[in-house]
Amino acid sequence: MSEHEHALDWLQSWYSAQCDGDREHRWGLRIETLDNPGWLVEINLEQTDLAERKNPRQQIDRNEHDWVHAWTAGQTFHLACGPRNLTEALTLFRVWVSARD
């Protein structure tokens, strides 16, 4: 399986590792649809070792339905993408988490 195919499994493991009996009651992540169409993902990084890390806005625009944007604002990692780019977007988050400054 490719790195993309494991993106959701990896995200589930990452989220589970952040849960400490308290954090998950206040901060988490949200995945919702956009009406253009596409996906919006917000991953709250508060109380994680990533809370202060920055990710400048990345934009991959191939066409109207094939695009991915990723950025941090405050202590939240944001992803927005086309309707068939959710796995690619989650993989960008995975790569960012795995990168060492």
Q: 34-76: per-residue pLDDT in tens? A: 999 999 999 999 888 899 999 999 999 999 999 999 999 999 9
Torsion of CA 39, 22, 20, 43, to 10 degrees: 20
Residue 22 has pLDDT above 90, yes or no: no
Segments forming the whole domain that contains residue 14: 4-98
Q: Dihedral of CA 18/20/25/27: which sign?
A: negative
**What average pLDDT score do residues 73-101 get?**
93
Helix (H), strand (E) at residue 71? strand 66-73
The total of structural domains in the chain comes to 1
The residue type found at 60 is I
Q: Which two tokens stand for residue 98?
A: 């795995």
Please report the pLDDT score of residue 4 as a whole number.
56
The pTM score is: 0.86
